[in-house]
Structure formats: structure tokens, C-alpha cells
Structure 1
Amino acid sequence: MSRFSSLLALVMVAVLAGCGRPEFSDAEKQTIASLALSRLPPLKPDTTNRFADVPAAAALGSTLFFDTGMSGGGTVSCSTCHKIDRQFQDDLPQAVGVGRTNRRTMPLAGVAHDPWFFWDGRRDSLWAQALTPLENPLEQAGNRAAFTHYIKARFGERYERIFGPLPDLSGVPANASPLGTDAERAAWNAMPGAQAEEVNRVFANIGKAIAAFERSIAPPQTRFDRFALDLAAGAEPKGDAAFSSEEILGLKLFIGKANCVTCHNGPRFTDVSFHNTVVPPV
């Protein structure tokens, strides 16, 4: 056992034996307060999506988010993995859509505050992130031509009230995508450039509607937030906001000697630490 582990064990024994409850210094209290959700800044305008704060776009995005028609087989929706009662994730080690993926589902609560998306940060806008699972063969396994036809058939009037007229799709193949199967790619490559551009525009607007909905998903206040607010106000945390001695020691380590807070800092850190919903790394 290391010297640090031995010291921690002795501290734990002393606390549990009633020899004292650990206290926070003023500096520690300031650090803890900075981690509360109440410190989240107002959302910045999304300069990549002029529909980001349009209520009708968010309403359409919500419909699409829960619609299994937004998948190749009609059995999977965004909400299959992003469950509303689990901070919009699924508690599984690997997400399962049409197939099993190699990554865990990320929570969406507060996602609009993030600058990068996916575990590897490969998308830099929320609407571009929203589109990616739609054509992933292991997630929703659809293709952009099919989605465009689906939007026109099911949501044409709603779409046009928000984004303007839909294009003429009479010559667009039922299934086509630059990222799809061999047959879908061949169909896509055979399309005139202007027609492919029109399909891409509708597909992009699908992502912008879903992103407008996801932008509205705020993280709920947790017991850590209530603890931090009470502590900052100089009040003794009560009820579920009262931390046990073990939790206080863990928090002191988190912001102190263990240095976890170096990476897990700011209000969004609470998606991966003291919340009831724990989201471990990949």
C-alpha cells in the first residue's frame, strides 16, 4: 500500500470513528461552487444554424427524435439510445441501435454547451452530429434520399413552414447516399449535381431541426448542485444535499490531491461524477 493510500485509510478510519468531519477551505468552496449547474453561462447563439432557437424547428426536431420512421428498418429512433429518463443516454456499455456500436451513448442533457461532439470530437456543430447516426449502419441505418422522401410524405407542411419549399423529388431515387451501401452510392453518383444538392439541403435541415430540439434539453439539478449552492451560501446542506463523510472526502480528493478537476472542470463535469447518472469514459 502506498503512503498516500495509507494516509487516506487512516483519515477514513478517524472520520468514521467520529473523530471529526472534514471541512472545506474558502478556496475549496469557491472551486465547488464553480462546478454547479447554476454556473452554466447562457447558451451562445448557434451561428451554424439559424433555426437553432426557432420553436417550430425544435418541435419538429422533437417529433423526428422520437420517430422510428427515421431509420432504415423503421424500428430505431434517436430516443432508442438517448432515453428521456436517463439524461438522454442508455446506461449500456455500448450503444445498440440497428446493431451494436463500439462506443457508449453520450448524454444529451446540456449538450448545446459543448464545442465538440462525439467521444472523439469529430463534429463541431450539433446539427452535424445529429445527422451522423441517421446514416450509420449500426445506429439508424438509413440514407438521406429515403429520409428526404419520408419528410415530404409525413411532415411536408411542417417542414415548409419552417424551412421553405421542398424540392421536386419525383426523380430522386428511393434510396441514395454518398455514404451508404454500394447500391446507394451508385444511385447517388448517378444523380445530377443540382438534385443531390437539394437532397443534401433537406438532409441538413433535418439535422438542424433535431439540433434545435437537443439545444432545449437542459440538465436537471442534482443533489451535488444543491450541496454546492448551500455551501456557497454558507448554509449547512440539508436533506439529500447533505453529503456523507465519505462523499466529502471523495470531493476533497477530486478538487485537491487527486487533481481530477484539472480535466473535469466547469458545470458540465457533473455528467461524469457526483450525479446519480454516472457516465464513465470509453
Structure 2
Amino acid sequence: MTFRISLTALAVAGLTVAATAQENPRPDTLAALGPPPIPADNPMTDAKIELGKKLFFDPILSGNYGMPCSACHRPEAGWAVQDKISFGYPGTTHWRNSQTIINSAYYGKLFWAGASPSLEHQARAAARGGVAGNGEDDQMEARLAFVPEYRAAFQEVFGDDWPSVRHAYMAIAAYQRTLVQTDTPFDLYMNGDDDALSAAQKRGLELFAGKANCTACHNGPLLSDEAYYNIGVPPFDGWEDDELAQITFRFELYSKGVTEEKYRKLKDDPGLYFRTKQEADMGKFRVPSLRYTQYTFPYMHNGMLETLADVVEFYDQGGGENEFAANKSALIQPLGLTDTEKADLVAFLESLSGEEMLVDDPDLPEMEPLPMAQN
């Protein structure tokens, strides 16, 4: 059961709000995670989850048979990539930071600009993305049909005579919905265990919901309002001297349909503008969850902040500057934190991660000639 405490209710009960907040700072804007939502059109089964796990790690779902989902979401790297920019399809590089898929089941908007409304859609977009999987559905579907184990699994799980790539994406999404972490020190504390957080972490929680105003955007069980903001993150420095990164960036500008003037002049990621084509959305990105962040460094959409301490310092300074200063959120203001307060805030952020979630890559089935071709 999710535990929340209302300061108003405590005051009515005869307790002073100030004292209670100091002893048990559990803001109404925050909550522990419950079970992930499961869409009615993609129910979970053990067989589907097992199939999805294999497909997640299998490079069969990519253009060159070499870029599985796990290429950019490694378990030992926070189920992401511990570098500023994610890996790209061979011959390219990516152009944004790889986000962890731990707790991605709770998002209503996937990718940094919210381009996918579901894990099923996200899996398809990643497998087909020009600088990601670069696959074609018919090609990937044909490959799946050459694997007897997959033919049997798709028949069992989905009733397919031959594997359907649409169902492959559904199986991957089902597997991702098992990658959740609901037993962090923060969750235990919000569920009533007063000893789950250290004294420094409790002070950090007070700052998070108070002086630092982090809950203005990082709220709810996911610690994200899933809205879009420009907070002044500086542009990716690789675009200054990495020729391949420059080519990828121009490709993204072109393929996403910016104006010719912007194609020629932009030196920074326009973010949500790619989707809306509204000037007011230049440089805005969807608020990420802060869960599991202990393992998902570096931070921001382009990895320009290396550590959680760097993130806290960034916000304490009132954010940064980028090409889209006119759209910078008014919520981003200098905080005036002391060194002790910064350390406490980092300590609280660390409480949003539990034990590292590691799995071994599964044994993958091999292709064989189709039955009708064996004679």
C-alpha cells in the first residue's frame, strides 16, 4: 500500500506541522511505486516474458543482425549506456543519451521528447530507427521464421503460424514491464519504515520537497511529471569536433523536418520542437524519472553532467545556458544551497536506487532451414 501523509490532517489531529515535517518529511507530492500498469491488449504471461527477454538480447531484430535492444541498454551499465551519447548503428553514432529501461513501464511518454506513447511503440521505433536498430519489419520477421524455437514460441504465446514482428515488440514490452524496482530505501520509507533513510537522506528529502523545489517537476511515484522543460542544459560538446556526431545531428534535423534555416544554423538539440514545430518548444525535454539514477550516469538528454553532485550543482546555479534561452523555464532559479545541503540532497537522490539489477544474457536460439526447404 502506498503511504502518504497529509500535513493538514496532522495539524487537525493536534500535531504541529513544523515538527511533523522535520521528523517525517513525506510530502504529498511523492509516493512509493506500486505495480506497473499492464495494458489490456498485451497481458503478461510467463511464456511471453521469456520470449521478450530473448528478443531483447537477440540482434536478430536489427538491420545488420548486430544491434539488439541490449546494445544500448546494458544491465551492467544501468540498463543504459554510461557515456554522454548512446551507441549508434554501425557507421553512425547516436545523438542523445541512452535512458535506463528500469521502471520504464510507468512512463506514459517514452524517449526524451515523448515520441512514443507505449513500450510496444518504443520497441518498434528503436528497432527501426536510422541510428539505432535500422531494421525493416519484413526482413526481421523473415529472420524470426528461420528460428524453430521462435516459431514454436510465437505459436504458443500469440497463436502465430509464423512469427509476427508486431508481436515481437509486444513480447519485448512485456519483458520490460518486469524490470521494475519498488524496494528502494525511498520506497520503504514512504511505506512507513522510518529507518529506511539515513538522517542525511531525510534532510535531503526535506530539501527536495522544500528549498530546492525539485518536486515542482519530479513528483508522484515515478518522480516525474512527464512534462517538458528547457532547463538550460549546454549543448553536447561532441558536436564541436566529432565529424560523425555532426553528420548524425544534421541527419536528425533533416529527417525530422526542420526548416532550411534551422538545418543550416542550429548547433543544439531542439528537443520537443522536432515533434510540435512550435518555437516555444525549442530545447524542451520530457522530465526523466530520478529512480535508478545511481547507475545511469552521465545525466541529461546529452550526458553533459557527469555525477549526481554535478546535477545538484547545476540546479543550485540556476541551470545553464543553451541556444534556446528564450524558452528556459522560470522554475529554474538559483537555490543558494550550502555545501552540507548539497551533500544531503545527493544522499537523498541515492536513496532512489536500490540494489543494482543484473541479469546474464540468455542463451539465444539459432537459425535453421525452413521445414519446406529441407528436402
Q: Which residue of 1 aligns with 2:131?
A: 138
Give the one of 222, 228, 247 matched to 2:184.
222
Give distance in 2, aligned partners of 1:259 and 1:28.
18
CA contact (8 A) 1:65 1:78 kept: yes
Give the one of 201, 206, 216 matched to 1:262.
216
Alignment of 1:146-225 (within 5 A): 146-154=139-147, 155-166=150-161, 202-219=164-181, 221-225=183-187
Q: Which residue of 2 aligns with 1:182?
A: none
Give distance in 2, aligned partners of 1:122 and 1:27.
41
How far 1:209 sits from its partner (Å)? 0.8
Matching of residue 31 in structure 1 with residue 27 in structure 2:
yes
Q: Deviations over 1:130-157 (max 9, x none)?
A: 1111111211121111111111111112
CA contact (8 A) 1:71 1:140 kept: yes
How far 1:202 sits from its partner (Å)? 1.8
How far 1:243 sits from its partner (Å)? 4.4
CA contact (8 A) 2:26 2:190 kept: no
Give the one of 294, 319, 323 matched to 1:276.
294
Matching of residue 60 in structure 1 with residue 55 in structure 2:
no
How many pairs does the alignment contain? 215
Amino acid at match of 1:104: N
How far 1:60 sits from its partner (Å)? 0.8
CA contact (8 A) 2:52 2:175 kept: yes
Give distance in 2, aligned partners of 1:243 and 1:165.
55
Greater RCO (Cα-Cα under 8 Å, separation 6 or more): 1
Give distance in 2, aligned partners of 1:88 and 1:160.
29
Amino acid at match of 2:169: G
Q: Deviations over 1:179-238 (max 9, x none)?
A: xxxxxxxxxxxxxxxxxxxxxx92211110110111111126334445555xx44x445x
Root-mean-square deviation (CA, aligned residues, Å) is: 2.9
Change (3 A) 1:139 1:72: same
CA contact (8 A) 1:65 1:77 kept: yes
Partner-residue secondary structure (3-state), 1:269: coil
Give distance in 2, aligned partners of 1:63 and 1:71.
14
Q: Which runs of 5+ in 1 are unaligned?
A: 1-22, 168-200
Q: Which runs of 5+ in 2 are unaligned?
A: 1-18, 225-288, 302-375
TM-score with structure 1 length normalisation?
A: 0.66
Q: Which residue of 2 aligns with 1:80?
A: 71
Q: Which residue of 1 aligns with 2:113?
A: 120
Give distance in 2, aligned partners of 1:262 and 1:27.
22
How far 1:114 sits from its partner (Å)? 1.3
Partner-residue secondary structure (3-state), 1:127: helix
The structure whose residues are more often helix, as a share, is 1
Change (3 A) 1:89 1:124: same
Give distance in 1, aligned partners of 2:292 and 2:213.
15
Give distance in 1, aligned partners of 2:33 and 2:188.
15
How far 1:30 sits from its partner (Å)? 2.2
Give distance in 2, aligned partners of 1:80 and 1:24.
47
CA contact (8 A) 1:227 1:243 kept: no
Matching of residue 46 in structure 1 with residue 39 in structure 2:
yes
